[in-house]
Amino acid sequence: MKHFTIFGNPLSHSISPLMHTYALKDLNLKGEYLKHELIDGTKLKETFFDLSLDGANVTIPHKEIAYKQCDEIKGVAKSIKAVNTLIKRDKNLIGYNTDAPGFLMSIQDFLPLDFALVIGAGGTAKALSYALLKKGVCVEILNRSEGRLKDFKDFSSFTWDTFSPKKYDIIINTTSAGLHDNDLPAPKKLLLPTLKLAKYSFDVIYHKQTPFNLLSKELDKPFKDGKNMLLYQGVLAFNLFFDNRLNESLITKAMQKAFN
């Protein structure tokens, strides 16, 4: 019997336990996946071993602090400096980031891309920017304020005051604008001309139709929300929990049930 959990705070909105429980059941695997609201992120590693876990997912706000507590970091998580998946190997904690490849899987039909604009400069912006960079896409960052742009030294970056609209293949909203309000992620006078020139748009928010996606719809641009990114990061994490020996399509089919 294997034991998994998701660490985060708050976790009431998380459908990860449901996704993973469907996968365990439908693939006939012995295990349980619970949730653990963790207030103090510095206690993550200690809690992981106290709970005798085999693997875990990490969500807001602990992805960066989890990265710091890992004994080994794999893949693109080294550049992002944030992990959302943890695996126990002997007495060590191994960290991965499946948000980045999960995002790429969700925009498969938009690829190839040459030039992307990522709006926002938080953890999700970092994961998506490095995912695209590793695919050879030139990425620029646009953020409301300057502070967090210092974490994007590998990219050209702008604030609302220094940005001029240009032609990108895809515009990606990674901010939480539109999640609990009706805000666009940048002023309409910047966003509208940029979206008009773009081929595609993408919003990481998956709970609702955001003003950003509505604007893309009005402009007749192909757009996606973050639902499949959430699905695929879960599929990849689940397969890592089982040494990557499972069939991805079967996991995907099982996890999709959580969205119905």
Could you give the residue numbers annotated as active site?
A: 63
Give yes or no for residue 176 binding ligand NDP (CB under 6 A). Answer: yes
Give yes or no for residue 16 binding ligand NDP (CB under 6 A). Answer: no
Give yes or no for residue 120 binding ligand NDP (CB under 6 A). Answer: yes
Q: Which DSSP string corresponds to 103-167?
A: HHHHTGGG-S-SEEEEE--SHHHHHHHHHHHHTT-EEEEEESSSGGGGG-TTSEEEETTT-----
CA distance readout (Å), 172 to 42, 55, 116, 191 = 31, 30, 8, 11
Give yes or no for residue 41 binding ligand NDP (CB under 6 A). Answer: no
Residue from 18, 27, 60, 214 that binds ligand NDP (CB under 6 A)? 60
Give yes or no for residue 97 binding ligand NDP (CB under 6 A). Answer: no
Helix residue spans in 14-94 (DSSP H): 16-26, 44-50, 63-69, 77-80
Give yes or no for residue 148 binding ligand NDP (CB under 6 A). Answer: yes
Residue from 75, 122, 193, 222 that binds ligand NDP (CB under 6 A)? 122
Shortest Å, Cβ 91 to ligand NDP: 29
Q: Which stretch binds ligand NDP (CB under 6 A): 15-23, 107-115, 142-150, 162-170?
A: 142-150
**Which one, of 43, 137, 133, 48, lies nearest residue 87 by Cα?**
48
**Residues near ligand NDP, by CB under 6 A:** 60, 99, 120-125, 143-145, 147-148, 174-177, 179, 183, 185, 204-206, 226, 229-230, 233
